[in-house]
Amino acid sequence: MQKELIEKLFLTGNLTDEELKQLIENRTDEDFALLSKTARQRCGEEYGNKVYMRGLIEFSSYCKNDCLYCGLRRSNKNAERYRLSAEEIMNCCENGYKLGFRTFVLQGGEDNYYSDDLFCEIISAIKEKFPDAAVTLSLGERSYDSFKRLFEAGADRYLLRHETADSEHYGKLHPKELSLENRMNCLNQLKEIGYQTGCGFMVGSPFQTADCIVKDLRFIKDFQPQMVGIGPFIPHKDTPFKEEKAGTLELTLFLLSIIRLLLPKVLLPSTTALGTINPTGREQGIKAGANVVMPNLSPVGVRKKYSLYDNKICTGEEAAECLECLRRRVKAAGGELVAHRGDSKIAINNK
Ligand code: 5AD
Ligand code: FES
């Protein structure tokens, strides 16, 4: 029966909610072996064995929000806070460009220090200096006008994980001033403006049920994002969820494969969180159908301070400096690390 579901998913790119739930709840190792092989094949049909690399620049650890799972939440008084200047961000890009990166991902907490004007200045400077590179933003929720201005300044892509597509679950992970409705509005606006848009969620976050995951997958299928970021939830010691269990490698890999089959053309990273819960997590992610890696390009001195969860890998060979190590790891997983921009093949509005 499970085998038939996997075949149907492969042939039609879809399953009903009930079928998805069944596939997830009754999964076995044998199912995963078939599912991941199928997902890898589908990924190969779209992208060959290419794995795209993105340089991640974590520019600010200040955050005005208070998400219960996140180590950067404003009420974490133990968090070490830092901000990178425009010049420091440019230095990261220069360093990354020399290493071969052609996508820069600017990610930070929601930090009002960075005005639209400042972001526009930074984005235009990057695009002017490196016209063949893509700029991806991961700045959290902003106004429509702000999203539009940043797009007009040259930003190409925007990552905004929806975190969970179940509003009740959303309420348990976030303070009351944040809502799923606003998150979804932002995602729709990003898409409408013309960004290559990414959504995503944490696997095994507290209170997550199989029904929540089915809603996440349904949302992803309907929204048709160009990118999807998923990784296991990992507790952070200075958050209300410090005693909660981490999400598993096994379920994350299973879901990566399902997402690849639901959206064959999606750009799907094998995330740092996956590499944190297991030393070969990112390689296993690639084998399960992921095709993007995002090594850290932030200045070495601040990497430990960008602490979303405990024990985040950040100074060893997963970081951008050791691209040879990364290339070897990707190769061991059957992939070929490629330098170019690697745009999505999913149609984008306005472009
Ligand atoms: N464990 C795993 N992922 C986390 N994120 C934030 N906190 C954690 C955590 N404790 C993820 C969120 C966010 C992204 C930047 O990092 O999904 O969108
Ligand atoms: Fe910063 Fe959630 S704690 S956006």
Return the CATH fold of 3-338.
Answer: TIM Barrel (3.20.20)
Residue 104, Cβ density class (10 Å: 0-12 exposed, 13-18 middle, ≥19 buried): buried
Residue type, 247: G
CA of 139 to the centre of ligand 1 (A): 13
Instruction: Identify which of 105, 169, 202 to mutate to test ligand 1's pocket (most ligand atoms within 8 A of the CB).
Output: 202
Q: Which ligand is nearest to the CA of 161?
A: 1
CB of residue 70 inside a 6 A radius of ligand 2? yes
Q: What is the Cα Rg of the chain in Å?
A: 19
Residue 349: DSSP 8-state = T
For 100-130, the pLDDT digits (tens) are 999 999 999 999 999 999 999 999 999 999 9
Could you give the CA distance from residue 183 to residue 203 in angstroms, rounded to a whole number? 18
Residue type, 150: L
Which tokens in the block code for residue 76? Answer: 């974490």
Contact criterion met (CB below 8 Å) for 190 and 82:
no
CA of 78 to the centre of ligand 1 (A): 18
The domain ranges of the chain are 3-338
> Which pLDDT score, from 0 to 100, does residue 339 have?
85
> Which pLDDT score, from 0 to 100, does residue 342 have?
86
For 248-289, the pLDDT digits (tens) are 999 999 999 999 999 999 999 999 999 999 999 999 999 999
Helix spans in the chain (H) = 2-12, 17-25, 29-47, 86-99, 116-129, 144-152, 167-173, 180-193, 210-223, 249-262, 272-277, 281-287, 323-332
CA of 341 to the centre of ligand 2 (A): 28
pTM: 0.96
Could you give the CA distance from residue 328 to residue 319 in angstroms, rounded to a whole number? 13
Q: Whose Cα sits closest to atom 4 in ligand 2?
A: 65
For 333-344, the pLDDT digits (tens) are 999 999 888 888
**φ and ψ of 225, to 5 deg:** -70, 160
Mean pLDDT for the chain overall: 95
Instruction: Identify which of 54, 66, 70 to mutate to test ligand 1's pocket (most ligand atoms within 8 A of the CB).
Output: 70
At a CB cut-off of 8 Å and minimum separation 6, what does 117 contact?
none
CA of 70 to the centre of ligand 2 (A): 6
**String of DSSP letters for 63-129:** -S---TT-TT-TT-TT----B--HHHHHHHHHHHHHHT--EEEEEE---TTS-HHHHHHHHHHHHHH
CB of residue 178 inside a 6 A radius of ligand 2? no
Q: Is 336 helix (H, G, I), strand (E, B) or coil?
A: strand
Which tokens in the block code for residue 93? Answer: 């890009």
Q: Which ligand is nearest to the CA of 238?
A: 1
Measure the N-to-C terminal CA separation of the chain; round to a whole number of Å: 42
